[in-house]
C-alpha cells in the first residue's frame, strides 16, 4: 500500500456538533447555536451536543486506543472570544490548551479548524458579521490568538470549514432567507471570508513557518446522468461552482472567474478594495483540506422547472442507478474519491488531506453494548483503497480524518443520523449520560491504522 510512515490517520469532530456547554465556561453564543435552536423542535440542539466539553479526556483515551495519529477538531471562536472581537475568555483558552496537551502527550497531532459554521453571534448583532469588512480584522485577531497560544503544538491548521457550503445557507452566516438583502449579504460575506482566510494564512506563515495551513472545501464529485450536452454542461458548471471555483479563489491570488460570473449573473457586486488581490496572494495556502463523502449525478431532464429553468436542487437529487444510497440520499461511491483526489491535486499541486469522509445511518445500541456497523467498515475500507490508488498515481495525500470520531450532532439531522466510530448514548430528546461505546468500525479502523493501511481485508471490486 502507498501510505507513508507519517501518514496522518485520524478522525474528526467540530465544536458545535461535539462540545455542548453552549453557554458554559464563559462561551458566547454563535450562529451555529442559533441555527440549531431554530430546529430544536425536530432534533437535538447544540446545548449539550454529545457533551464533549465534559467527556474530552475519555475521548482522547479512546483516540489513543484507536491508534490515531491525528485528531481534527475545531476551536469555538465564541468560546475563546465570546463577543468575537472583545475580551479573551481565558477559561476557553485553557480548555483547548488542556485538550491539545493531552493529544500531544499521547502522540496525536491536533488538526485544528478555526471556523466550523460557528461565527460569534455578537458580530452578527454588531455589524452583520462577515457582510462587513470589520469581521476580517476580528477573524485575523482571533486566528493570531490561536497561533500565539497553541501554535507551538499545532502544526496543521484549517482556516474555514466549507465556506462553499456556508455561503449557501444564510443562517450559517447569521442572515435569514426572507431578508431582501440576503443574497447580497451572502456574496459579500463570501468575498470577505476569502480575505479573512488569506489574512490568517499570512499571519500563520509569518509566526510558524513550519506549519501547514489552508482552507477546507466541501467537494462532491458531480457526474452527468447521460451524455446529453445539457447534462454534461450542467455537471461541468456545477462541479466548477461547488469545488474548483472556490479552490481557485483561495489559491490563485484573485477571485475565480466563475465566482465573478455568478455574482454578475445574480446582479450582485460585492465591494472589493484596491489591495485585496495582494491580500489573497500573500495568503495562499500551503495545503488544502477536502471534505469528500459521495458523488452526485445531474439529470437536467428531470430537473427542469417552470419555463425550462433548471432547478439545481432537483438536479442534485437524481439517483445514480449503479450506487447504494444512505437514507438521506448520499451515495456510496468509493471509486469516485480517487477521481476527486486526482482532479484536485493535478489542478492545485498542494498537499491534500481528506478531513471528512464518512457513512451515516440510524443506529441503536445493541444488547451486547455495541453497534455492528458492517456497512461503515466497507465504506472505510473501500475509500482507503481508493486513496491508496490515488497516492500510487502521484497524489500528495498526507492524511485522512474519518468523519466522525464519536457520533456527533448531525448539522442537518441531529442524533438520528450517526457517523461515528464510537456510539454516543443519547437521543434527540433524551440526553442520558452521553456514554461512549466503540462500534465494530472502531476496531476495524484500529487494525487498519496499525497496519498503516495495509490491513484491508479484501481489495474492492474494480481497483
Ligand atoms: C460537512 C460538515 O458538510 O458535512 C459537517 O463539515 C457535517 O459539519 C457533515 O456534519 C455531514 O453533514 P450532516 O448534515 O449529515 O451533518
- Indicate the top mutation candidate among 327, 361, 407, 411 to test ligand 1's pocket, ranked by most ligand atoms within 8 A of CB: 411
pTM for the model? 0.96
By percentage, how much of the chain surpasses pLDDT 90?
A: 91
- The answer to whether the CB of 161 is under 6 A from ligand 1 is yes
What's the 187 CA to ligand 1 centre distance in angstroms?
22
Q: Residue 462: what pLDDT? A: 39
* The residue to which cell 495556502 is assigned: 285
Ligand 1 touching residue 291 (CB < 6 A): yes
To 10 degrees, the CA torsion angle through 171, 174, 180, 182?
-80
> What whole-number distance in Å separates Cα of residue 449 and Cα of residue 114?
27
pLDDT of residue 392 exceeding 80, the answer is yes
Distance CA 173, CA 128 (A): 9
pLDDT digits (tens, 9 = 90+) for 393-437: 999 999 999 999 999 999 888 999 999 999 999 999 999 999 999
Q: Which ligand 1 atom is nearest residue 408's CA?
A: 10
Q: Are 153 and 110 in contact (CB under 8 A)?
A: yes
Is 72's C-beta closer than 6 angstroms to any atom of ligand 1?
no
Span 239-286, pLDDT tens digits: 999 999 999 999 999 999 999 999 999 999 999 999 999 999 999 999
408 C-alpha to ligand 1 centroid (Å): 10
Total length of the chain? 463
Q: Is 356 in the pocket of ligand 1 (CB under 6 A)?
A: yes
Residues taking part in catalysis: 162, 356
Amino acid at each position: 500500500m502507498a501510505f507513508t510512515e507519517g501518514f496522518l490517520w485520524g478522525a474528526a469532530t467540530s465544536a458545535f456538533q461535539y462540545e455542548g456547554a453552549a453557554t458554559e465556561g464563559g462561551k458566547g453564543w454563535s450562529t451555529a447555536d442559533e441555527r440549531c435552536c431554530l430546529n430544536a423542535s425536530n432534533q437535538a440542539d447544540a446545548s449539550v451536543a454529545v457533551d464533549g466539553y465534559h467527556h474530552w479526556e475519555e475521548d482522547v483515551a479512546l483516540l489513543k486506543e484507536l491508534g490515531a495519529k491525528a485528531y481534527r477538531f475545531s476551536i469555538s471562536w465564541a468560546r475563546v472570544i465570546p463577543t468575537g472581537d472583545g475580551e479573551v475568555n481565558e477559561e476557553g483558552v485553557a480548555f483547548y490548551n488542556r485538550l491539545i496537551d493531552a493529544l500531544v502527550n499521547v502522540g496525536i497531532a491536533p488538526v485544528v479548524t478555526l471556523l466550523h459554521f460557528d461565527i460569534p453571534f455578537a458580530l452578527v448583532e454588531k455589524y452583520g458579521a462577515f457582510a462587513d469588512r470589520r469581521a476580517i480584522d476580528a477573524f485575523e485577531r482571533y486566528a493570531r490568538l490561536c497561533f500565539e497560544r497553541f501554535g507551538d503544538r499545532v502544526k496543521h491548521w484549517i482556516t474555514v470549514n466549507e465556506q462553499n457550503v456556508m455561503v449557501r445557507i444564510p443562517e450559517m452566516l447569521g442572515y435569514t432567507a426572507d431578508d431582501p438583502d440576503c443574497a447580497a449579504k451572502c456574496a459579500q460575506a463570501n468575498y470577505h471570508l476569502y480575505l479573512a482566510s488569506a489574512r490568517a494564512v499570512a499571519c500563520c506563515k509569518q509566526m510558524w513557518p513550519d506549519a501547514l495551513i489552508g482552507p477546507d472545501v466541501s467537494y462532491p464529485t458531480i457526474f452527468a446522468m447521460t451524455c446529453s450536452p445539457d447534462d454534461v454542461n450542467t455537471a461541468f458548471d456545477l462541479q466548477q461552482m461547488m469545488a474548483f471555483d472556490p479552490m481557485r479563489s483561495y489559491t490563485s491570488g484573485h477571485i475565480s472567474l466563475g465566482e465573478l460570473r455568478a455574482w454578475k449573473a445574480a446582479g450582485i457586486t460585492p465591494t472589493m478594495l484596491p489591495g485585496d488581490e495582494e491580500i489573497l496572494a500573500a495568503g495562499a495556502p500551503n495545503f488544502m483540506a477536502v471534505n469528500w463523502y459521495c458523488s452526485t449525478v445531474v439529470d437536467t431532464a428531470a430537473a427542469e422547472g417552470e419555463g425550462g429553468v433548471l432547478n439545481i436542487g432537483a438536479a442534485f437529487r437524481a439517483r445514480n442507478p449503479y450506487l447504494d444510497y444512505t437514507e438521506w440520499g448520499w451515495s456510496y461511491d468509493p471509486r469516485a474519491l480517487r477521481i476527486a483526489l486526482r482532479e484536485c491535486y493535478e489542478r492545485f499541486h498542494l498537499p491534500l488531506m481528506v478531513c471528512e469522509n464518512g457513512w451515516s445511518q440510524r443506529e441503536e445500541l445493541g444488547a451486547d453494548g455495541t453497534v455492528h456497523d458492517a456497512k461503515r467498515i466497507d465504506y472505510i475500507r473501500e475509500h482507503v483503497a481508493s486513496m491508496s490508488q490515488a497516492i500510487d498515481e502521484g497524489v500528495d495525500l498526507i492524511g485522512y480524518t474519518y468523519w466522525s470520531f464519536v457520533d456527533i450532532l448531525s448539522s442537518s439531522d441531529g442524533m438520528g443520523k450517526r457517523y461515528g466510530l464510537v456510539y454516543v448514548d443519547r437521543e434527540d430528546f433524551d440526553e442520558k449520560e452521553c456514554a461512549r461505546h466503540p462500534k465494530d468500525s472502531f476496531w476495524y479502523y484500529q487494525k487498519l491504522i496499525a497496519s498503516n493501511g495495509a490491513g484491508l481485508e479484501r481489495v474492492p471490486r474494480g481497483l
